Amino acid sequence: MHKRPVRQTLAELITRRTLIFGTHIVQAIISSLADAFEIVHQKKYLILTLPLELISVGDTLEEVYIHINGVYTTEDPRDFIPISVGLTAPELYNITTAKPSESADIYILGIITYYLVARAKVIQMRY
The ranges assigned to domains in the chain are 8-118
The closest alpha carbon to 41, from 68, 79, 65, belongs to: 68
92 confidence band (pLDDT: 50, 70, 90): confident
pTM, full prediction: 0.79
22 vs 6 pLDDT, higher one: 22
pLDDT at 126 over 70: no
pLDDT in tens, 33-66: 999 999 999 999 998 888 888 888 887 776 788 8
Percent of the chain with pLDDT over 90: 17
**Helical residues (DSSP H) of 1-127, grouped into ranges:** 10-16, 23-42, 102-118
The closest alpha carbon to 33, from 76, 93, 87, belongs to: 87
Q: How far apart are the first and last CA of the chain?
A: 53
CATH number of 8-118: 1.10.510.10
